[in-house]
Structure 1
Amino acid sequence: MTIESTEIPAVGQRWLSETELEQGLGLITQVEGRLLSVFFPATDELRQYALAQAPLARYRLLPDDQGQHAEGWAFTVQQVEVRGGVYVYHGEREDDGNAVVVPEAQLAAQVATHHPLTRLMAGKADRLDMYRLRQRAQVHLKRWQQSPVAGLLGARAQLLPHQLYIAHSVADRFQPRVLLADEVGLGKTIEAGLILQRRLLTGRAQRVLIAVPDALCHQWLVELRRRFALAFSLFDSERCAEAQIDSDNVFETEQLVVIPQSLLDEANWFAQLLVAEFDTLIVDEAHRIAPATQRFSQLQQLCEAIASVLLLTATPEQAGLDGHFARLQLLDPDRFHSFAEFQQEQQDYQQLTKLATVLAREGAHKLLDRLLDHYGTGRLMFRNSRSHIGGFPERICLPVELQSSDDFAAKAQWLQQLLREHKQDKFVLICRSSLTVQELYDYLRVQHGIHAAVFHEGMTLLERDRAAEYFASPEDGCPILLCSEIGSEGRNFQFTHQLVLFDLPDHPELLEQRIGRLDRLGQRHAVQIHVPYTIDSRDAYLFEWYSAMQAFSAPNPVGAMLYDEFHQQLQPFLTGDYHDELGFAELVAATEERAQQLRARIEQGRDRLQELNAFRPQAAQAVITAIQSAAQTDELQDFMLEFWARFGVDYDELNAHSGWLRPTEQMRIQLPGLAEDGITVTFSRDYALDHEQVEFLSWDHPQVQHALEVLSQDSFGSTSVALMQNKGLAAGTWFVELTFSSQLVTSSDLVAHEFYPHHAMRVLLDSQGRELTARVNASAFDKQLQFIDKKQARALLQQLRPQIQQLITQAWQPAQQQQQQLLAQAQAKISAELGQQLQRLHELKQRNPAVRESEIEALQVRQQRLLSALEQPQLQLDSARIIVNMPQ
């Protein structure tokens, strides 16, 4: 394709507007005197221009170019004929190979107006800094696509080895089906989120369904958004009913969906879930769905319909080994078909435990790997314990018995004294209701002048963000955050270690959830748990009952079982309907005895072999090192600051670690997650962990990914003109510097970019057509260039149009040669790496029946399809820069 400006305009010719490329191809309809009429079919507009000053460029296809007919079909140009000043193209249709003759008036109105050649020939040139920013984006995108930890970079979470080992081990598998069974507080939600984020960002997953206990829906939505910048939609019965109006299947209206597990019980919605074609299913608290129930049957059908499944449970054997076996059957019914065989396997594997422990202690990693490869559930289940991982804080319970008949008044007075005595500390207070929160807030502020932040379910997410920020601020913050039960869900406050339980919840799991707000990995101090209660009150009975099961001193994996067993006996004492005080002492003793029994059963079921398999420190450290290497925080910050400046987004630095980002009237594109009133952002993981209301930006973040996409796929920075002032070269010497992009066109699930990323290939030619690419360093050359204003740039482009077109045509051959070298390297990498993986899976399958044949077949298919895709790469002209030497 070429564009000329020297031809005499004639009716039937096609021209481009140099000032309005978006108008598409114009058709000359009339030439009369000094006026020229041009109709633009794409916008249905008729324009008139002065013939001598028309800002138009002649459009012409060359042999081997592809054209588009107005009826939609494409053709390849073989010969160009001129009839009365009008081009007539002879060529071959792409769809059927038939010969065609196409007068230029029949060309489609829409042309590739974003194509660098079209823009360059029409006199469109971007600023030099925009061109440079595009080149930087190409480098960053390629590096991110090739990173083995892409998708693991951006979680608002500490780089904890056991979590990252599991995420890295599972995320890249073909259709992973695993049970994440770490103990409470070890971060199963984070593990699932890391796996999910990597699979989504790399293209391994597109449609995700998460089924969680009804009370945890909000917590999951918040965790996914705040930790992983993943925006899921909650589909409860009400939302489904609304969506049903406009859709045959309500779950096809969104890609990322969270549902309450109770929705599985509703036949209409469950039927739609089964056929909604989700590719990934995550089920939280899977042990709560008991086998031999209707809901378990529904879950079983979902697991059969969805290829990838993650089941989350902190207590895999709490319902007995048969319940554990039933959940493993959900993942692989062919592998786990006989409970008797499973029991025998588990006993046999126990014999390997002592040997595995010795190998781990001696650092014999290769021998340990081979031994663990034999382990039956090793690839399906990951189970870490607190004792195995370590790093958790001590819990110190500080009960306070108060003498008063007015429960609220006594506790409130005690609270204000506590705050006075510990002015240097920050406290989190959790109670059952938002009404109590408000009463406490008024009491502290009005009667004692103590400022507090409030946090309850009646507040919006933005209001909660501001409350959390106010509380967290070391300079301007308040000493206490008052939370309701529901309002505290989804938030972790481990930057403080003082917890006040103003009242006690009815269920042990709610108590554990409260304490877990502070008792988490990353907590640097012993957690001080303050429990005020008045004599003979409801809280006094609950405190003694919870103490019997050691709920305050350590994580409580048996709490739910104890509640199911004893809560009916407990109720009379909570409501004041008891008649025998000795009955409560018997209840406490029975609870303590039963708690010991259940803990012993869980400890006996603890599988040392499973722990060793679920966390291998050496491999985990390699993942952490790769993440730290790929993070490149300073480089990311420099890139994004430049991007925001070029695209009309204001960034005001707030402190050394964060800034305020807000849109302006000059903003050129829409950025995901950027609210009208702006957001606070940081590039520091540590700062983000301490300030949950601040957006954590990494190479994985949607806004950063959007920036890379805009600068690699849109036309921004694709053309530029620059001046050089090199006295060693003659004045008027000029160069064409081109960037060609090369990609594989294939389905996203192949994750082709891991072997063949978005390649940007540079070709440098001088005005004589000599190729200088290898002889002239790109960075050194770029440093010599200077900005040129748009008027000068346009004049130079108009003057050099014919020569530029000829050089660009000539540059394709060296670009193709570079591409062939890259393709050969990718072919070798695919054969080596995937071949090695196949060999390992074949060997592993001989020792471990948990390796599915479908996994091996999928890897073989991926290898074949990738090698086939290498035979038809897509080579395109991405950007062009014209450099003219004008020494002073």
Structure 2
Amino acid sequence: MQDFAVGQRWLSETELEQGLGVVTQIDGRMLTLLFPATGEVRHYAKQQAPLARYRLLQDERGQHADGWKFTVTAVQEHQQAYIYQGVREDTDEQVVVPESHLAAQVATQHPLTRILAGKTDRLDMYRLRQRALRYLHDWQQTSVAGLLGARAQLLPHQLYIAHTVADRFQPRLLLADEVGLGKTIEAGMILQRRLMTGRSQRALIMVPDSLCHQWLVELKRRFALSFSLFDSERCSASLEEHDNVFDAEQLILIPQSLIDEQQWLEQLSAADFDLLIVDEAHRVVPETHLFAQLRHLCEQIPSVLLLTATPEQAGLAAHFARLQLLDPDRFYDFDAFVAEQHDYQQLTPLAEVLANVGAEKLLDRLLDHYGTGRLMFRNSRAHVGGFPERHCQTYPLPGSAPAFTEKAQWLTELLKQHKQEKLILICHSALTVQELHDYLRVQHGIHAAVFHEGMSLLERDRAAEFFASPEDGCPILLCSEIGSEGRNFQFAHHLVLFDLPEHPDVLEQRIGRLDRIGQQQPVQIHVPYTPDGRDHYLYQWYEAMDAFSAPNAVGAMLYDTFAEELAPYLTGDYQDELGFEALLSATHERAAELREQIRAGRDRLQELNAFRPLQAQAIMTAIADSERSDILADFMQEFWARFGVDYDELNADSGWLRPTEHMRVSLPGLPDDGMTVTFSRDYALQNEQVEFLSWDHPQVQHALELLTRDSFGATCVALMQNRALPAGAWFVELTFSSQVTAPAELVAHEFYPQQAIRVLLDSQGRDLTARVPAKALDQQLQFVDKKQGRALLQQLRQTLQSHIHAAWQPAEQAQRERIQAASADVQQSMQRAQQRLTELQARNPAVRQSEIEALRERQQLLEQALQQPLLQLDSVRLMVNLPA
């Protein structure tokens, strides 16, 4: 039985959260404890009291009930109570602190406190915690953290831009890739990496009003980023709760029209966003009120990404005005800008030669001279490559029956010819979609998925899933015009144009759903028409401009020129068939002229700067090395099993995840009815309704955080059977966590990720860390039940506390060595980066002095942070050898 005395401090083994209790009364076989931290009183029988005596050792830190802290220099005992002598930290004076005067609050999650209270976790939970520590370290250290989680095919040109831009200090630039090259994906990757590494904390995205919903969906589906939409209605409703409505959220998306309202513009400017993304930037026309409002917003936010596929659509002056939004000091004179651009074109032939022979260093120096190279990235299809061919096949119909009937009958025959393939049909209206769906089902027993604007987002997701499923999906997806927006179906390569749109850009949007990077097959385009009908004339006009065989960058300009002449042939009001032949000839000639103008103006220096294949390949390799999807799947399935989440495998690539009543914690983003998850990027791309889990995903990050910051698996008792050791021999394995505390924007973990420092001591206190590897020791261990584990802890409690205290010295030595290596790395890397930018600035005025100064400041602050690392005891495992 334990000896109790009034004034002693004890921990409750069953209610650790109560803090330190003090013995207030002893009455025969009963005793009373008051827990000052909670005001609770507990009564215990002496013989069975689940209590652990709390004692500080020499050199440990304690806290007085008045709040000040002290370091213990000696421990005495008087009338069964401890008296601590020590040095007060804030005044350096000598103090004497009876244990009854200790603060009631103790670190209840601290491993030492849990050991003293006999709190232990299962062996498998301890092992899971150790894995989480390793995986967190690896994720923090990888150069591609934040680039692993995009639900997108990994394309070198996108990754090169994302990695290059995301790591810059306050990047301000124009993303201007051609249509189909993925500017939205690039912006999302930049955003995600900056948020996950800490370079950005508050992001604002501004998009055309009609694209708000699409952006919200894409950010969630592709990057697992939850943005909040703030339109005028929500802003007005939030005024009563917040002085600045935009302080309510960290990640905000707004419609373009919102900045036209002065009240909201002022609050946006004052909301301390550190990253602004503007989609379809060319829609905000210079010399308008809206452009002036955008300029004001760009002046207030340090990092700005403008997105447009047509940077010079409104002329070179408008392009110059947008560059001024990014760097008004650099782009101050339009005439000088025009002359500079002309001069740079003279470098193109030399750059082409250097690129072709692989002279990367010489090419680097040449491109350094290029003025807008750091402010604008523009890739073309011709430069990137990897796009499929387009093959168009026409089907003249007899015209003896109503057009819908003839086309529907033709469609059933086409489906029979392509039984093993997926077809996507796009037409103008939802009504036609529904009529086709009913016709195929009723007349021919063919089930089709439908996709139109009258459906909810969930219904569209289910339709896409039904169509995409290789096992039990349907052969065709019937889409209204909305089917050519926001969804990519690269796994299909047959496109049926049930009718033809009047505008070339709409036609290009339809074809672009399949004709994208990632398409593995030639795109087969099927066009049925009735001779001399509306679609027949449209087909011939599109053929004249070569709209079916290749991307049509000149279609909008041709439509503006010839739409009026074309109209009578679409309505049947024309007088002269020869006039249509003249229209086709004029369209063909004008298309050739416009394409030549685009080719001549194509900026090869810009393309070479926007995509460097060798550097991009290095990023691809780093991602391949860091993804480790098999390891991630094994870790997360173990995590779910330990925390009461059900995971049922559906197939080789996916599983069903659902919460249970036995969940130990709530998991963010897990619906009550569960969700389907996959660790396979390829499977996620084919099944957009399935959640793609990567090391970047919030679910995974939450698991890592839970296991490395909470107490799960922090204390453990295990048994071993080693005939070479005497029965009763024991060892204690301690893991210390070492990290540096610094502002998030310094991204200190790139140089010093959270470290796990292992120390192994035997029962005599001898350090065996270097002699006994963790893996070899772990293989000898087996589970022990909690009751037996608690008994062992109680028996060895005082000796264990002394050993844990002694283990700090080797841990501190290991930390010093790692800190020295990290400091050398910071100095070398940051000085190299500063030298690179300084040399670059001498040749290219686009390099801002603030970038160089930011590097110097980062180096200085990192070096200061590394001088004060934080070492904490993370976990403790006691291992006792059983008799043979």
- Regarding TM over 0.5, the answer is yes
Q: What's the CA shift for 1:661?
A: 1.8
**Residue matched to 2:278:** 283
**Residue matched to 1:385:** 380
Which is further off, 97-106 or 741-750? Answer: 97-106
Corresponding residue SS for 1:60? coil
Matching residue's letter, 1:623 = I
C-alpha distance in 1 between matches for 2:361 and 2:162:
21
**Residue matched to 2:9:** 14
C-alpha distance in 2 between matches for 1:27 and 1:571:
92
Distance 1:720 1:779, change over 3 A: same
2:257 to 262, 284, 287: 262
Q: What's the CA shift for 1:849?
A: 0.8
C-alpha distance in 1 between matches for 2:31 and 2:484:
70
Corresponding residue SS for 1:654? strand
Q: Is the 8 A contact 1:336 1:342 kept in 2?
A: yes
**Residue matched to 1:202:** 197
Distance 1:94 1:717, change over 3 A: same
Q: Is 2:215 the counterpart of 1:225?
A: no
**Residue matched to 1:789:** 785
**Residue matched to 2:40:** 45
**Residue matched to 1:864:** 860
**Residue matched to 2:813:** 817
Corresponding residue SS for 2:408? helix
C-alpha distance in 2 between matches for 1:108 and 1:510:
72
1:456 to 433, 443, 452: 452
Distance 1:781 1:413, change over 3 A: same
Q: What's the CA shift for 1:63?
A: 5.0
C-alpha distance in 1 between matches for 2:283 and 2:767:
68
Q: Is 2:343 the counterpart of 1:345?
A: no
Q: Is the 8 A contact 2:129 2:713 kept in 1?
A: yes
**Cα-to-partner distance string for 1:70-110 (whole Å, 9 max, x where unaligned):** 66665555666767655566666666778877665565543
Q: What's the CA shift for 1:261?
A: 1.4
Which is further off, 717-726 or 314-323? Answer: 314-323
C-alpha distance in 2 between matches for 1:187 and 1:474:
26
Q: Is the 8 A contact 1:456 1:488 kept in 2?
A: no
Corresponding residue SS for 1:486? helix
Which is further off, 373-382 or 809-818? Answer: 373-382
Q: Is 2:820 the counterpart of 1:830?
A: no
2:179 to 180, 184, 193: 184
Distance 1:293 1:119, change over 3 A: same
**Residue matched to 1:489:** 485
**Residue matched to 1:608:** 604
Q: Is the 8 A contact 1:78 1:90 kept in 2?
A: yes
**Residue matched to 1:498:** 494
Q: What's the CA shift for 1:694?
A: 1.9
Q: Is 2:351 the counterpart of 1:356?
A: yes
**Residue matched to 2:696:** 700
1:660 to 656, 659, 681: 656
**Residue matched to 1:34:** 29
Q: Is the 8 A contact 2:162 2:187 kept in 1?
A: yes
C-alpha distance in 2 between matches for 1:447 and 1:670:
50
1:423 to 395, 419, 426: 419
Which is further off, 874-883 or 267-276? Answer: 267-276
C-alpha distance in 2 between matches for 1:258 and 1:564:
33
C-alpha distance in 1 between matches for 2:859 and 2:255:
39
Distance 1:705 1:884, change over 3 A: same
**Residue matched to 1:312:** 307
**Residue matched to 1:780:** 776
**Cα-to-partner distance string for 1:238-271 (whole Å, 9 max, x where unaligned):** 3333333422222222211222212222222222
Which is further off, 174-183 or 676-685? Answer: 676-685
Q: Is the 8 A contact 2:57 2:802 kept in 1?
A: no
**Residue matched to 1:138:** 133
**Residue matched to 2:759:** 763
C-alpha distance in 1 between matches for 2:276 and 2:480:
31
Q: Counterparts in 2 of 1:85-234, with a 5 A limit?
A: 104=99, 107-234=102-229
Q: Is the 8 A contact 2:76 2:82 kept in 1?
A: yes
Which is further off, 194-203 or 859-868? Answer: 194-203
Q: Is the 8 A contact 2:426 2:483 kept in 1?
A: no
Q: Is the 8 A contact 2:716 2:876 kept in 1?
A: yes
Distance 1:410 1:22, change over 3 A: farther
CA RMSD, 1 decimal: 2.7
C-alpha distance in 1 between matches for 2:319 and 2:256:
19
Matching residue's letter, 1:208 = A
C-alpha distance in 1 between matches for 2:496 and 2:355:
41
Corresponding residue SS for 2:550? coil
Alignment identity in percent?
71
Q: Is 2:725 the counterpart of 1:729?
A: yes
Corresponding residue SS for 1:709? helix
1:336 to 328, 331, 337: 331
C-alpha distance in 2 between matches for 1:632 and 1:363:
32
Which is further off, 579-588 or 160-169? Answer: 579-588
Corresponding residue SS for 2:165? helix
Q: Counterparts in 2 of 1:576-591, with a 5 A limit?
A: none
Q: What's the CA shift for 1:221?
A: 2.1
Corresponding residue SS for 2:482? coil
C-alpha distance in 2 between matches for 1:349 and 1:638:
53
Q: What's the CA shift for 1:867?
A: 0.3
**Residue matched to 1:511:** 507
C-alpha distance in 2 between matches for 1:379 and 1:60:
61
**Cα-to-partner distance string for 1:615-659 (whole Å, 9 max, x where unaligned):** 111111111111111112222222122112111122222222222
Q: What's the CA shift for 1:33?
A: 2.5
C-alpha distance in 1 between matches for 2:843 and 2:194:
28
C-alpha distance in 2 between matches for 1:220 and 1:387:
27
Matching residue's letter, 1:119 = R
Structure 1 length as normaliser, TM-score? 0.94
Q: Is 2:365 the counterpart of 1:370?
A: yes
Q: What's the CA shift for 1:592?
A: 5.0
C-alpha distance in 2 between matches for 1:210 and 1:701:
21
C-alpha distance in 1 between matches for 2:618 and 2:285:
39
Distance 1:211 1:509, change over 3 A: farther
Q: Is 2:739 the counterpart of 1:743?
A: yes
**Residue matched to 1:247:** 242
Q: Is the 8 A contact 2:659 2:672 kept in 1?
A: yes
**Residue matched to 1:875:** 871
Q: Is the 8 A contact 1:315 1:557 kept in 2?
A: no
Q: What's the CA shift for 1:192?
A: 1.3
Which is further off, 636-645 or 167-176? Answer: 636-645
Corresponding residue SS for 2:671? coil
**Cα-to-partner distance string for 1:43-88 (whole Å, 9 max, x where unaligned):** 4433221122110112234454444556666555566676765556
Corresponding residue SS for 1:729? coil
Matching residue's letter, 2:204 = L
Matching residue's letter, 1:861 = E
Matching residue's letter, 1:55 = P
Distance 1:589 1:791, change over 3 A: same
2:470 to 456, 471, 474: 474
1:842 to 838, 844, 851: 838
Q: What's the CA shift for 1:279?
A: 0.8
Q: Counterparts in 2 of 1:678-717, with a 5 A limit?
A: 678-717=674-713
Q: What's the CA shift for 1:483?
A: 2.3
Q: What's the CA shift for 1:336?
A: 0.8
Q: Is the 8 A contact 2:484 2:509 kept in 1?
A: no
**Residue matched to 2:666:** 670
Which is further off, 870-879 or 209-218? Answer: 209-218
Q: What's the CA shift for 1:488?
A: 5.4
Which is further off, 108-117 or 872-881? Answer: 108-117
C-alpha distance in 2 between matches for 1:69 and 1:398:
86
**Residue matched to 1:642:** 638
